[in-house]
Structure 1
């Protein structure tokens, strides 16, 4: 028989903060009991529901998304140059000197799986 798990609803900023803190504590455990696993899963659902309704999450900057995906996949600028067809163009894009072209967006979407909605965002370039 398992012990009762007491999980509070997440309906305020304070609840949200407390739930995130508890999730972090549970995630840091090397081994979790079955009750702790259930509590963690329940908190994930409650926090996700709260965040969907109350937390505005802005999409990442297009170049930051590319750099993040490069890091995830262990890619270099040279690898991105192969995707885009030019070392110079890859450098200009990654250093935010020029905005991504529609063709570059298509290639990056196909090759790296980054959403077109993220890549197509307007951003300022460095002069």
Structure 2
């Protein structure tokens, strides 16, 4: 019972939002021991990967689908505004 009360209190006062899309990609790359070239095979050109990771280019719908399907990153993490 106390555990449920603590959980509700934390959800109300300290909500945890979805992670930043770029940070989610970087985290998954680190987990899978990937480099930018590996990610370029999923997203397109290596220069495009650099632009995305430096936040100069936004993810397209096709990129989001590819990241979800090939790296198992949840859609919720990739669609959040950044």
User: Shorter-chain TM-score category?
Assistant: 0.7 to 0.9
Q: 1: distance between equivalents of 2:61 and 2:75?
A: 10
Q: Does 1:101 align with 2:60?
A: yes
Inter-partner Cα distance in structure 2 for 1:75 and 1:54: 38
User: How far does residue 54 in structure 1 lie from its aligned partner after superposition?
Assistant: 2.4
* 1:29-81 deviation digits (Å, cap 9, x = unpaired): xxxxxxxxxxxxxxxxx3xx423x12211111000000001111111111101
Secondary structure of the 2:70 match is helix
TM-score norm. by structure 1 comes to 0.56
Distance 2:30 2:64 in 1: 18
| 1:54 aligned residue | 9
CA distance in 2, matches of 1:108, 1:77: 13
**Structure ranking higher in helix proportion:** 2
5+ residue gaps, structure 1 = 1-8, 11-45
* Residue 76 of structure 1 pairs with residue 21 of structure 2: no
Q: Which has the higher contact order (CA 8 A, sep 6+)?
A: 2
CA–CA distance in structure 1, aligned partners of residues 53 and 69 of structure 2: 18
Report how many aligned residue pairs link the two structures.
77
Q: When the two structures are superposed, what TM-score results if normalisation uses the length of structure 2?
A: 0.84
Which one has the largest radius of gyration?
A: 1
- Show the 5 A alignment for 1:110-125: 110-123=69-82
